[in-house]
């Protein structure tokens, strides 16, 4: 996972990691832990993140979640 790329997309959309965590129904600590690679986002969570951040580019999705 490319956390820096995901962080830049979050900022680009004027959101915070806490905003994304809340939209996913998880704690900010859990979201941060997944951003740090301690565990992975599930497919549904990754799709929801892309939806929230308006990421439609398949290459960008791959670069973020499968780096």
Q: Does domain 3-65 have CATH number 3.40.640.10?
A: no
Domain chopping of the chain, boundaries = 3-65
What gap in Å lies between CA 59 and CA 51, rounded to an integer?
Answer: 15
Name the percent of the chain lying above pLDDT 70.
Answer: 100
pLDDT of res. 3: 95
CB-CB contact of 64 with 55 (8 Å): yes
What gap in Å lies between CA 53 and CA 67, rounded to an integer?
Answer: 18
DSSP 54: T
- Whether the per-residue pLDDT at 67 is higher than 90: the answer is no
- Give the count of alpha carbons within 13 A of 29, CB side only: 0
What gap in Å lies between CA 55 and CA 53, rounded to an integer?
Answer: 5
């Amino acid at each position: 996972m490319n956390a820096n790329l995901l962080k830049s997309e979050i900022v680009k959309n004027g959101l915070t990691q806490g905003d994304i965590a809340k939209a996913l129904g998880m704690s900010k600590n859990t979201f941060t832990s997944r951003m740090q690679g301690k565990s992975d986002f599930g497919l549904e969570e990754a799709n929801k993140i892309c939806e929230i951040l308006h990421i439609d580019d398949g290459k960008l999705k791959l670069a973020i979640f499968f780096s």
